[in-house]
Each structure stands twice: as structure tokens, then as C-alpha cells.
Amino acid sequence: MRVALSLSDVPEVEESANRLPKQAARKVLREATRADHERVDTLPLMRRLLDERVSKADYGNALERLTLLHTSLCAELADSVAEYAHPRLRPGDLLPALRSDLAELGRRTMRDPDPAPRLASGAEALGAWYVLEGAALGGAVIARHLRQRLDPDLPLRHFGRADERRWPEFLRHLESSLSSRSEIEAAVRGARSAYRFAAETLQA
Ligand code: HEM
């Protein structure tokens, strides 16, 4: 599979007279990280969630690792993303739902999270934040499957979250924050680094 690594690799977002087309940042990020996404969504821990024989333990394991991922990356992002703060959205917004699903499942013991990779700039941090936000997007399908297979009353605040405005709002923020070629390239570096960390953290 061809993976575009920089802005100039993506024909439809080629620069003209220094103006970047609308949605350049998201297009580049999505293309440049397609293979990284495939790597994480095919990890055994993730695949088991959509398996016919999924168990509550599988669900708890996935929640635990996702909580570790969000905890570590958010700690790293907290300062570095300040340059691109959003008036309403915060990288840590998804953590309370993960933690309360875990607690309700009775999974209270969790190892300390590994430290996340250093993010060198605000634009890199924004790229890593894009990965955290996107990680919840496949949630509706997963929530429906788990309800059917395990228990209609399963705690599913994270995967079953129905805030349809959040992702478009985050994408608008991404586009208005990253306007130059070098900022978008930095965001790609941050996103790829976050995906590598996710692949390690979600490795069962
Ligand atoms: C079973 C596991 C997973 C499934 C089934 C899944 C599925 C999906 C789907 C269907 C989308 C597109 C949603 C849409 O456009 O409305 C998506 C997007 C995305 N996912 Fe996943 N995903 C999984 C795991 C992950 C994980 C673990 C991460 C990150 C650590 C991740 C990061 C992203 C990102 C960043 C996007 C946005 C890509 C874009 O710009 O369109 N996903 N995922």
C-alpha cells in the first residue's frame, strides 16, 4: 500500500500560491497514517472486541489499555498543545468515560502507564490529539456488537458515546490551527508517534 508521508505526496492538496486548500491537514493526516491505523485496528486486543465469542474480560482488557493510552498521551499533551487550545474541547475529555466503564466492570487494578513519547511542538501535539480523538470513531459499531453479544446493560459510556458534534468540531479546530506545510508535516510526525505508542500500549 502506498503511504503518503508529506503534503507534496498528496496530489489533491498541492499548494497553490502559498494557500493550502480547505481540509488539507485532515487529508494529509489520514493518508499519511492509513497504514498505522490498519496496524492498530487489527491488533488482537481490538479484533477480539468484534469477535463473535467476545467476553467481558476481553472488553475490560481493551478498556484498560485504552485508559493507559489516553492517560499517558494526555499527560504529554497537556502542556504542548496549549498553543492550540480549543475553547471547549480538551484532550482529556474522553478519560472519565473510560475510567467509569472500567470501574463499573470491577476492573480497578491497573498498572502504571508507560510515559508517552515526547512531542516537540504544538503542531506535533495536535497530530497526537487527532489520533486520540479518532480512536473513539469506530465506537458505535463496537458498542452495538458488545451489547448484543454480552449484555444490553453493559457500561458503554466510552464506545457508546453519542456526541456526534465532537469530531467535526475537532476537525474544524485542526484545519484552522494548521495552516502551513511545515505545521502539517509536524502534525503528521506527532500522529505517527502517537500511533506507534498506541500499537505498543494496545499490544496484548
Ligand atoms: C477495533 C478497533 C477500531 C476500529 C473498528 C476502528 C474503526 C474506525 C472507523 C470505522 C473509522 C472511520 C470513522 C468515520 O470516518 O466516521 C476510524 C477512524 C479513525 N480511527 Fe479507528 N478504529 C479502531 C481503532 C482505532 C485506534 C486504536 C485508533 C488510535 C489509537 C484509531 C484511530 C483512528 C483515527 C485517528 C481515525 C480518523 C481517520 C480520519 O481522519 O478519517 N482507531 N476508525
**87-126 CB burial, b ≥16 within 10 A, e <16:** eeeebebbbebbbebbeebebeeeeebeebbebebbbbbb
| 17-to-8, 14, 21 alpha-carbon distances in Å | 14, 10, 11
Predicted pLDDT at 19: 54
Predicted pLDDT at 162: 74
What cell was used for 135? 480512536
Question: How far is ligand 1, taken at its centre, from the CA of residue 69, in Å?
Answer: 15
- Give the atom of ligand 1 at the shortest distance from the alpha carbon of 195: 30
In DSSP terms, 16 is beta-bridged to 19
CA distance linking residue 135 with residue 118, whole number of Å = 20
Q: Nearest Cα to 30, choosing from 159, 166, 171, 200?
A: 171
DSSP assignment, residue 113? P
165 φ/ψ angles, rounded to the nearest 5 degrees: -85, -20
**Cα dihedral 98/102/103/106 (nearest 10):** 180
Question: What is the separation of C-alpha 72 from the centre of its chain, rounded to a whole number of angstroms?
Answer: 13
Measured by CA distance, the residue closest to atom 37 of ligand 1 is 134
89 φ/ψ angles, rounded to the nearest 5 degrees: -85, 140
Considering the domain boundaries, does residue 6 fall inside one?
A: no
- Give the atom of ligand 1 at the shortest distance from the alpha carbon of 141: 5
What cell was used for 25? 491537514
Predicted pLDDT at 21: 67
Question: How far is ligand 1, taken at its centre, from the CA of residue 18, in Å?
Answer: 31
Considering the domain boundaries, does residue 130 fall inside one?
A: yes
Predicted pLDDT at 160: 93
Predicted pLDDT at 13: 46
Considering the domain boundaries, does residue 13 fall inside one?
A: no
What cell was used for 52? 463473535
User: Residue 45 sits in which domain range?
Assistant: 20-202
- What is the number of other CB atoms lying within 10 angstroms of the CB of residue 173? 20
37 Cβ below 6 A of ligand 1: yes
Measured by CA distance, the residue closest to atom 33 of ligand 1 is 134
Q: Cell 459499531 identifies what position?
A: 141
**Number of folded domains that form the chain:** 1
Q: What are the pLDDT tens digits along the chain (204 aa)?
A: 334 445 555 444 444 434 566 679 999 999 999 999 999 999 999 999 999 999 999 999 999 999 999 999 999 998 899 999 999 999 999 999 999 999 999 987 678 889 999 999 999 999 999 999 999 898 999 999 999 999 999 999 999 987 889 999 999 999 999 989 999 999 999 999 999 999 999 996
- Give the atom of ligand 1 at the shortest distance from the alpha carbon of 26: 40
Considering the domain boundaries, does residue 65 fall inside one?
A: yes
pTM: predicted TM-score of the whole model, two decimal places: 0.90
Measured by CA distance, the residue closest to atom 15 of ligand 1 is 137
135 Cβ below 6 A of ligand 1: yes
Considering the domain boundaries, does residue 167 fall inside one?
A: yes
66 Cβ below 6 A of ligand 1: no
Query: 114: domain CATH number?
Result: 1.20.910.10
Question: How far is ligand 1, taken at its centre, from the CA of residue 135, in Å?
Answer: 5
| 136-to-103, 130, 178 alpha-carbon distances in Å | 19, 11, 22
Q: Which residues contact 38 (CB under 8 A, 6 or more apart)?
A: none
Considering the domain boundaries, does residue 82 fall inside one?
A: yes
- pLDDT tens digits, 117-161: 999 999 999 999 999 999 989 899 999 999 999 999 999 999 998
